[in-house]
Amino acid sequence: MDYSIDFGSYFLIILYPVVGLLIIEMACRGAKISNWIKLLSQAVMCVGFGIAYLTMHVAHWLTAGVLLALAIALFYQSKVSKLNPEKALY
């Protein structure tokens, strides 16, 4: 059984979370949703993709690890943005 993955498939695996982040960003800006809700939804999306990438037929540990680390940073930034919007970086 060959568990290798070609470059095109790997590029798509990296591209899906980026597109998800951009879609959430544009939707929240268009609907004028609070910054902390946007960050929280982006973090949940990153956790979802991270878990999905760990449970794939060929696990992508590095990609999943980066997404889960990004989710932690987004959860933290969401908390800071909710508690004190002036301290939020963006």
Residues 6+ apart with CB under 8 A from 90: 35
Number of domains in the chain: 1
Average pLDDT over residues 17-39: 95
**Is residue 24 situated within a structural domain?**
no
Q: At what angle do helices 35-54 and 7-30 cross, to 10 degrees?
A: 160
Question: Within a domain: residue 75?
Answer: yes
Task: Please report whether residue 5 resides in a domain.
Answer: no
Q: What is the pLDDT of residue 3?
A: 64
**Alpha carbons within 13 A on the beta-carbon side of 14:** 9
Q: With bands split at pLDDT 50, 70 and 90, how would you rate the model's confidence at 60?
A: confident
Q: How confident is the model at residue 89 (pLDDT cuts 50, 70, 90)?
A: low
pLDDT for residue 4 is more than 70: no
